[in-house]
Structure 1
């Protein structure tokens, strides 16, 4: 069972360090962390998580862009996804710019 994310600032072409990320299952906060110097968040979940079901990753993009001195349009990005098999690894990357974002299921 594992879940990771990687945030890349496509406006600068660099990893997005210091982005706050929260994981929810339903309304319950499961875990929270901050992306490292490489824009990654790994090994951040409590044992047994993520479980099967619908989850949301909430990225605090507003605070990130404020620290960068950049005006952004999205104060947060919410990515909702389903975990069917908790035994698999799930990777949910975020490509971010001040006025757009994209995500996909990675490996």
Structure 2
């Protein structure tokens, strides 16, 4: 099970390299989901805007949240944003699940593409 994501800067028409990304997993108690998230990995998008969330190993079943620090990214470009972060939540269910995300970022909006394969 894994999650791959790409961030794209739509203002400049290029991959958004160097965005800090937190990967969090929903905590659970005896199979019942709680409202808390545990950070399992800190990553940064590469030169092509990609980050692969695997916490150094295959991810287990459950909900995961990827949080892109869009504010810091656009601040380095001298731009202000309307939002601090972009958060995407996905659920991994099967042993061979693979999620592919593309987050398209601008200072005042974002959009997302999501694909899931099992």
The yes-or-no answer on 1:35 pairing with 2:50 is: no
Within 5 A, what are the aligned runs for 1:83-98? 83-98=92-107
Q: Which has the higher strand share?
A: 2
Distance 1:68 1:86 in 2: 40
Q: How many pairs does the alignment contain?
A: 106
TM-score (norm 2): 0.82
Q: Which position in structure 2 is the counterpart of 1:72? A: 81
* Structure 2 runs not aligned, ≥5 long: 27-36
The yes-or-no answer on 1:23 pairing with 2:33 is: no
Report the CA distance between 1:14 and its aligned residue: 0.7
Q: Which has the larger radius of gyration?
A: 2
Q: Which runs of 4+ in 1 moved over 4 A?
A: none
Query: Root-mean-square deviation (CA), in Å?
Result: 1.6
Distance 1:69 1:46 in 2: 33
Report the CA distance between 1:41 and its aligned residue: 1.0
